[in-house]
Structure 1
Amino acid sequence: MTDDILKIFNISTTGSGVSTGQHWLPANGAPITSVSPVDNKEIATVKSATREDYDQVVAVAQEAFKVWRTWPAPKRGEIVRQIGEALRGHKEHLGKLVSYEMGKSLQEGYGEVQEMIDICDFAVGLSRQLHGLTMHSERPGHRMYEQWHPLGITGIITAFNFPVAVWSWNTMLAWVCGDVCIWKPSEKTPVTALACQHIAAQVFAANNVPEGVSCLVTGGRETGEWLAHDKRIPLVSATGSTRMGKAVGAAVGERLGRSLLELGGNNAIIITADADLDMALIGAVFGAVGTAGQRCTSTRRLIIHESVYDNFIARLARAYSQLRIGNPLDEHNHVGPLIDRAAVEAYLGAIEQVKQQGGHFVVEGGVLTGPGYESGCYVKPCIAAVENTYDIVQHETFAPILYVMKYQTLEEAIAMQNDVPQGLSSAIMTLNLREAERFLSHAGSDCGIANVNIGTSGAEIGGAFGGEKETGGGRESGSDAWKAYMRRQTNTINYSTSLPLAQGIKFDI
């Protein structure tokens, strides 16, 4: 299956992972081998960037920006529209590649590509709406307004769990804003990045887009550090762990650059006594086991009213017993593998900590073995009854471990929901209008995303995506997130015959 798809995207099994757009550099860095967690087979080996390769890419991107920023925004939007059309044509192939390289279910792989298509559509419309404001001047014969200009190079660091969608969130908006992009994908999922670069390159070549508007540099932690410390890159957008984000934020902040951080989540659903429990069950199960618990928006905690706790836990356990775990390319399976064996070890370590800290398992976990599970990356989604104060509950484990706990009052539930270092996504399940509005009020959820009667996972591209506290404070995708990729300029025009000063200051000469 993968050989055919690699041919479609013109990907060599031993090729370069450094590109300035339509051209690939003869990369000289260490090889990165992509191994599928589905069956432990090698997909391809990619040569990473050396420092010299990286500097060459940045130089080409700098020159490209001088030209790309002069293209009218709607013309840049037309290029993005064509990329969206190309993605539609490749949705099946790219979706399968995402599923196979990352391990998420095939439906989620297709969904990720659809998310890319959706953000292209959003960005095309945005290309005709990069608006500023006008203000009344206190001085007669003067006009004030603001406008937005492109920043330059946007550096994009993405994580393995959404190997292509998060790149598109940043890139499509940055492109219509007039920026050029340098993408460092996760070293765990480099092949899907090569496929995206191939798709963009074909569209760019057909439209004479300058070389350097879409750049790719594969590599490990060191490559990300080059981006973070590089004064030539005014904006670095980084998605990943809080630990990584703190390092990127510090490096970019030290040089007074801009960072857009999308980091860890420790997301909770509050299930009230007035909840539709059937609806709550669907939201909780998908949120907890979708992508094998490897989403930043995965549901980690259920905070359940004591009056419905036993009933809901019984329903939850029955639903977990019906989960099908296996090859994600089989559409009958609900849950695929974790990304690698290191993730499996983190999963097992978290289970042990739950036991040591006093929790007990409602649904037991464990590693699956036998036919179909030879990669060693398949685990059982599990449910642990805990206290919110447990140290392990306060941390994000990227695995399908769901923590459940009781509450008595809504104020108590909201306090528990907020009492973690992270602040990405949150939800409440209730048919009580007062409870819903209380959850969404100033004294409610402290997260960047707060939902009513839907789960924590599965955000649409129309709204700004991001979170507070240790989630980093960044916003990507919809709403006015485009402003992160531009610089604001205030302009004052004097069309009078004199030069009055503001604040009534007199300066006669």
Structure 2
Amino acid sequence: MSAVCAPTTRRLLRLALAGPPAAMQRHHSLDVSAPLLRTQGYVDGRWVSAASAFPVLDPATGQEIARVADCGPAEAKRAVDAAYEAFHSWKRFTAKERSVLLRKWFDLMTLHKEDLAKLITFECGKPMSESLGEVAYSASFLEWFSEEARRVYGDIVPSPARDRRILLLKQPVGVSSIITPWNFPSAMITRKVGAALAAGCTVVVKPAEDTPLSALALAELADQAGIPAGVFNVVPCSREKTPSVGEVLCTDPLVAKISFTGSTATGKVLLKLAADTVKKASMELGGHAPFIVFDSADVDKAVGGAMASKFRNSGQTCVCSNRFLVQSGIHDRFVEKLGRAMDAELRLGHGSEPDTTQGPLINARAAEKVVHQISDAVSRGATVLKGGRRRDGSFMEPTLLTDVTTDMLCTREETFGPLLPVIRFDSEDEALAIANASNVGLAGYLYSQDTSQIWRVAEALEVGMVGVNEALLSAAEGAFGGVKQSGLGREGSKCGIEEYLEVKYMCLGGLQV
């Protein structure tokens, strides 16, 4: 799932991770409190086993850190049935009652932030500082939607007839299937589930096969918070069982909605599965973000933004910048300062090491894709200024390319890795033409101190989110989502809860007024 979210087989992953770099030779063990390290599925308020289990590996070392129940379509169906049964009572909870429970869940996440961050680091590979940031970000959605639960307002519409009144009611859609990626294994769940539960829906979560431990830890905390049985269910499964489990979650007539974060290709498959029963769908799909630096920009701020946007989670985010467009007047100065920043700030290593800023990519195939894009660019005339090499396992050196042109793979497809290609441009119109020449449009960034230019470019960029002199734009309060083939709907913000609500028109007639 996601542009590099389709993992390799576990056999290939083990082979590719053999012989880690020297920094990885030390033994790193996952040490979290026992209640949070769950390895069974969570269905109808109970921990359930499956006929078999699949391994969860530390992508930095290839070591097995847990074996998790490999749920199949039977367990998925039981989870859907449990969610459907629970929906009839959960939707009758008052908004305040749902709000209180979500707030308790938020408080528990905050209390256990260290353990939750360790789980993310060991199953996903990101540095602990970033994992702690994800936990805070993840918890913020439960806090936000605990408050939004009490602000689901309907409307009273002036009627054209004296003896009638028109009301528009907001009601929960029902059981929602939540299918999430590995790169934000906690936040992508709470961003969806917080909204769903606040609206009065119940959910079945299918986490990515690489990162099920974070989802199961969230289930444990939901149970501790008092979320009723059947309201929140988690069905982990291996890559092999993902298609059959996904089919249940997207075709079962008891499911009213699907919400998916991942690749555009996978999103299209799920939409087709959901079409027969006309399910409501939210899709947060692939990105290919342009990062435009104009001559008027503050170069130091632009370099800082480029570092934050590109190298967070080793470039494995759907909103990280993929194409760096720098105007000719400041191109050389930007590239020089960026190279110095990369040397000074980036350190490869295991995410649990305190000085690590760059963890591994999720698996071997992710690293191979980056290598392939670098090779293609060099063969077409690009220059490698920094990095460019794959280390042992799935570690990839942060790489800076110049002399990049729009016919290179790295400017035509999402990378999902620490590759920063710089394209020189001359005019604003040229930059916009390059930036908009994509069939996806999730995020885009621009650096400029010209107010008129900021408005022109922000409005002209064909994306769902624009960062202006800011590279980290995600927040619970913001509407997250894209245009074109980057998806459907919005998550977070006041818009996020609307994705889990239907509008019912009620016409009250025969009034003696």
After superposition, the Cα gap between the structure-2 partners of 1:478 and 1:467, relative to the gap in structure 1 and judged at 3 Å, is same
2:385 is the counterpart of 1:381? no
Question: What is the rounded CA distance, in whole Å, between the counterparts of 1:6 and 1:34 in structure 2?
Answer: 18
* Alignment match, 1:9: 36
2:332 is the counterpart of 1:310? yes
* Alignment match, 2:218: 196
Q: Is the 8 A contact 1:160 1:188 kept in 2?
A: yes
**Corresponding letter in the other structure for 2:31:** D
Question: What is the rounded CA distance, in whole Å, between the counterparts of 2:387 and 2:49 in structure 1?
Answer: 49
Q: How does 1:252-401 map to 2 (within 5 A)?
A: 252-322=274-344, 323-369=346-392, 376-385=393-402, 386-401=404-419
Displacement of 1:364 in angstroms is 3.4
Question: What is the rounded CA distance, in whole Å, between the counterparts of 2:363 and 2:110 in structure 1?
Answer: 30
Q: Is the 8 A contact 2:76 2:249 kept in 1?
A: no
**Corresponding letter in the other structure for 2:316:** Q
**Post-superposition CA distance 1:430-475 (Å, at most 9, x none):** 111011111122xx111000121011x4411101101111211331
2:463 is the counterpart of 1:447? yes
Q: Is the 8 A contact 1:394 1:421 kept in 2?
A: no
Question: What is the rounded CA distance, in whole Å, between the counterparts of 2:395 and 2:443 in structure 1?
Answer: 26
Displacement of 1:8 in angstroms is 4.1
* Alignment match, 2:15: none
Q: How does 1:119-130 map to 2 (within 5 A)?
A: 119-130=141-152
**Post-superposition CA distance 1:43-65 (Å, at most 9, x none):** 10112112222211211111101
Q: Is the 8 A contact 1:249 1:259 kept in 2?
A: yes
Identity %: 28
**Post-superposition CA distance 1:136-178 (Å, at most 9, x none):** 1111122112111111111000000000101000101100100
Question: What is the rounded CA distance, in whole Å, between the counterparts of 2:43 and 2:387 in structure 1?
Answer: 49
2:494 is the counterpart of 1:479? yes
Question: What is the rounded CA distance, in whole Å, between the counterparts of 2:143 and 2:29 in structure 1?
Answer: 29
Which stretches in structure 1 are left out of the alignment for 5+ residues?
Answer: 370-375, 499-509
2:474 to 431, 454, 459: 459
**Post-superposition CA distance 1:352-399 (Å, at most 9, x none):** 222234433232311224xxxxxx121101122311243442111211
After superposition, the Cα gap between the structure-2 partners of 1:473 and 1:387, relative to the gap in structure 1 and judged at 3 Å, is farther
* Alignment match, 1:506: none
Displacement of 1:348 in angstroms is 1.5
Question: What is the rounded CA distance, in whole Å, between the counterparts of 1:111 and 1:179 in structure 2?
Answer: 28
Q: How does 1:116-155 map to 2 (within 5 A)?
A: 116-155=138-177
Instruction: Report which stretch shifted further, 89-98 or 222-231.
Output: 222-231
Question: What is the rounded CA distance, in whole Å, between the counterparts of 1:254 and 1:132 in structure 2?
Answer: 30
1:435 to 445, 453, 459: 453
1:84 to 99, 103, 106: 106
* Alignment match, 2:76: 54
After superposition, the Cα gap between the structure-2 partners of 1:62 and 1:452, relative to the gap in structure 1 and judged at 3 Å, is same
- Structure 2 length normalisation: TM-score? 0.90
Instruction: Report which stretch shifted further, 342-351 or 88-97.
Output: 342-351
After superposition, the Cα gap between the structure-2 partners of 1:21 and 1:196, relative to the gap in structure 1 and judged at 3 Å, is farther
2:46 counterpart SS class: coil
Question: What is the rounded CA distance, in whole Å, between the counterparts of 1:252 and 1:453 in structure 2?
Answer: 39
Instruction: Report which stretch shifted further, 121-130 or 326-335.
Output: 326-335
Which stretches in structure 2 are left out of the alignment for 5+ residues?
Answer: 1-27
- Structure 1 length normalisation: TM-score? 0.91
Displacement of 1:423 in angstroms is 0.4
Instruction: Report which stretch shifted further, 464-473 or 79-88.
Output: 464-473
* Alignment match, 1:104: 126
What is the count of residue pairs matched by the alignment? Answer: 480
1:437 counterpart SS class: helix
After superposition, the Cα gap between the structure-2 partners of 1:350 and 1:225, relative to the gap in structure 1 and judged at 3 Å, is farther
* Alignment match, 1:227: 249
Question: What is the rounded CA distance, in whole Å, between the counterparts of 1:463 and 1:257 in structure 2?
Answer: 25
Question: What is the rounded CA distance, in whole Å, between the counterparts of 1:174 and 1:2 in structure 2?
Answer: 35
* Alignment match, 2:442: 424
**Corresponding letter in the other structure for 1:123:** F
1:58 counterpart SS class: helix
1:329 counterpart SS class: coil
